[in-house]
Amino acid sequence: MSVTVRKIEEMLNALAPMETAESYDNVGALVGRRNQEVTKILVALDATMDVVKEAENIGAELIVTHHPLMFHSRKNMMEEDVEGKILCEMIRHNLSMIAAHTNLDKTALSGSACCAKLLKLQNVRQEGYLFLGELPSPMQASDLQDAISAALHFPTRRYGDENKIVSTLAIGGGACDEEWLEAKQLGAQAFLTGEVRHHNALGASTDGFVLYDGGHYGTEAPLVPVLTEYLQKQLDDVQYNVRVYPSQCEPFGRM
């Protein structure tokens, strides 16, 4: 049975309702046409030019991403900037695109939830965008830094006392460092996020708290295989003959 872009958008909407996205966000079907038939889907964190070429190479009609395009409004689609080039390439190759961004961040398939799983956190609970839980056993902040780098396959930076014992870790992937105070109030001794600005690094470590910067990419890329698997299962359950692929692109090379 064939499926359309609209149907995939509905599936994503059932998982992560588009109206739960932040007002500044840009989610849902963003490029292409909703009545386009889909046989192959490529899932990626970002619709980079490499990802678009990858979709062309595997013969996908649809790219599902976490980060939207046209996050900031555009007044033209000239190929004079990176995004303009990507949009024109997608349209030339009849590719559609759907983004699930801050609406996905509030679900069990968010980058933060996926990181919690990779770190084997116990008793995981959600507070807004944050997911927190207990480590399998308490560990020193410096050892936890190594464990995070290994789990995310991404080099992680630590701000705070290396000897601090951490038993509860909060996670807010991507650009979330302002929420370290909430993480602390929720009872965590450390907070893993994707981008740490100096004032938060300084504030947290002065306050006896530990901040980890696992990279925006490092803390969100784990959602790609999980979202791929989710969509494949949904499609298989209703016997749509569609293959869903996780992107193999590594935008920063091997870290």
Contacting positions for Zn ion (CB under 5 A): 174, 220
Q: Nearest residue by C-beta to Zn ion? A: 174
Nearest C-alpha neighbor of 184 from the set 198, 158, 203, 197:
203
Q: How far is the CB of 46 from Zn ion (least distance, A)?
A: 9
Residue number with CB closer to Zn ion (160 or 222)? 222
CB contact at 8 A, 134 and 123:
yes
Q: How far is the CB of 193 from Zn ion (least distance, A)?
A: 11
Q: How far apart are the first and last CA of the chain?
A: 41
Residue number with CB closer to Zn ion (160 or 174)? 174
Containing 190, the helix (H) or strand (E) segment is: strand 190-193
Q: Determine if residue 89 is left, alpha or beta; phi over 0 gives left, psi from -120 to 50 gives alpha, anything else beta.
A: alpha
Q: How far is the CB of 36 from Zn ion (least distance, A)?
A: 26
Q: How far is the CB of 216 from Zn ion (least distance, A)?
A: 6
Alpha carbons 54 and 117: distance in angstroms, whole number: 28
The pair of three-digit structure tokens given for residue 151, joined into one six-digit string: 């789990």
Residue number with CB closer to Zn ion (116 or 235)? 116
Residue number with CB closer to Zn ion (71 or 245)? 71
Alpha carbons 213 and 41: distance in angstroms, whole number: 31
In sequence order, the 6+-apart residues with CB closer than 8 A to the CB of 137 are none
Residue number with CB closer to Zn ion (133 or 174)? 174
CB contact at 8 A, 231 and 64:
yes
Q: How far is the CB of 168 from Zn ion (least distance, A)?
A: 24
